[in-house]
Amino acid sequence: MKSVFITGVSRGFGQALARKFLAEGYQVYGCSRTPPDMLHHPCFHWGAVDMSRPEPLAAELEALFTQWRCDTFDLVVLNAGMFGPSPRKASDISLGEFQTVLNVNLIANKIILDLLLSRFSIKQCLFCASIAGVRLRAGTLAYGVSKAALNAMAQVYASENPQSFFAVLGLCNMQTDLLKNALDGPHVRDFPEICALRDRATSEGYVTPATQRAEQVWDLFDGGLHKYLVSGQFKEIRTLTDQ
């Protein structure tokens, strides 16, 4: 049976994607810090990991991977992520806050990817990236830097691992807690671009539900990601879904 591994399956896009792959008959392996609500299925396998703490992460993952009877993943989805502090000036973000976002959005993904590549055959890997790492905005230091570095990491891994295909998709404005955190907070009014984005987010159809985005990602995967993307190169999903 075909299999997929997804990080951050407790809610939002990760859980929506897990449900979609289960509906399509896949074995779904997932991890997150907290258990997913009401995601009970004989083909769903879950383990608890905390991606904000890099030191124990490798051991936690090794324990999970040893339990899972699987040697190949048709798709790995590096989905888990956080926005971090609500928008504020870079100089007002503490080093601890900055480090936590880097741990979750970047460092943990390297740890996970290295372990997966050493233990499993990985056919395709999807980095859940963001235009925020390409078009950097005032007020988004931690998130923007982490996503810019993630884009760079994907390019390097793609060049060094030609046996696997690395899709780097910006999932754009999706209805998740991450987007809410990005548009909320007492200092948002200090950043005109974020205010404008928040205003656009109230217009009908501008923000995509996580379930709809999961369907779109499935359609791209089912059609063959290599037909739409260059391995390791960033692309926004809306440029593909609008075609």
Q: Mean pLDDT score of the chain, rounded to an integer?
A: 94
Task: Give the predicted TM-score (pTM) of the model.
Answer: 0.95
Mean pLDDT of 26-43: 91
Smallest Cα–Cα separation from 180: which of 198, 156, 155?
198
Summarised one tens digit per residue, pLDDT across range 74-130 is 999 999 999 999 999 999 999 999 999 999 999 999 999 999 999 999 999 999 999
Is the per-residue pLDDT at 161 higher than 60? Answer: yes
Summarised one tens digit per residue, pLDDT across range 201-237 is 888 888 999 999 999 999 999 999 999 999 999 999 9
Hey, what amino acid is at 172? C
Separation between Cα atoms, residue 228 and residue 126, nearest integer Å: 13
How high is the pLDDT of residue 243?
A: 55
How high is the pLDDT of residue 37?
A: 81
Smallest Cα–Cα separation from 61: which of 124, 120, 145, 144?
120
Under CATH, which number does the domain 3-241 receive? 3.40.50.720
